[in-house]
Amino acid sequence: MKITIFGATGALGSECLTQALDAGYEVTVLVRSASKLPADSRQQIKVVEGDGLNAHDVDQALGEGTEAILFAIGVDKHSPEDLCTEVTRHILRAMVNSNIRRLVWCGGGSTLVEEDRVTFGARMVEKIAQIFMPLRHYDKEHQYQLLQQHPEIDWIGVRPLQMRKGPKRGRYRLGFDAFNGLSVISFADCAHAMVKMLEDDTWLSKAPIIQY
């Protein structure tokens, strides 16, 4: 399968890249600087230098034969407002135009969805994110709302609460169980779930929480 990864130089995206290559996928990445990619990976992938906020660059990254997309762009305090949402808007337009069906994306655990078991802890996570990480919280919330407007796309999401460095265990929970601010997952295992979702329809049009 031929896939494109957005955010391949970040902590999560680099894990997605490594695991996608290990799984035998043909990979294209859209990055602002190819020099940030590991030298060994650069020899195995197609690199498009550009910006996901530029519609033309997104089109270039979704070349002929692309079948699926991994979205691993992160948000920090220096990110523009609604970064993920706007990049996703360009991706969705290109997907419709090129008849690409599958999008696997990483959302935010502070985005509450209708399937969640919303506990006091979940509400606290949401409130803390709104106060202390508003850029990330509202961007991921808007991204989820945007995806819901596109039933023609086979999208699947994961919502980690906290991600940290750590080994790939390959064992974690996906679903809508109760969670709190202590729920964690490694970047490696979040990537593991996302790569598996490229060909697994279990959570189609859903965004389960991922946690240990």
- State residue 179's pLDDT score: 84
Q: Which domain holds residue 48?
A: 2-211
- State residue 74's pLDDT score: 93
Strand duo 102-106 + 68-71: pairing: parallel
Q: Are 69 and 95 in contact (CB under 8 A)?
A: yes
CATH assignment of the domain containing 41:
3.40.50.720
Q: Looking at 65-152, list the stretches that DSSP marks H as alpha helix, in order from N- to C-terminal side.
A: 83-98, 120-132, 134-148
The strand ranges marked E within the chain are: 2-6, 26-31, 46-49, 68-71, 102-106, 154-160, 162-164, 173-175, 184-186, 209-211
- State residue 181's pLDDT score: 79
Q: What are phi and psi of 185, to 5 degrees?
A: -155, 150
- State residue 55's pLDDT score: 97
Q: How many domains does the chain have?
A: 1
* Ranges of residues in the chain whose predicted pLDDT is under 70: none
Q: Are 199 and 139 in contact (CB under 8 A)?
A: no
- State residue 21's pLDDT score: 97
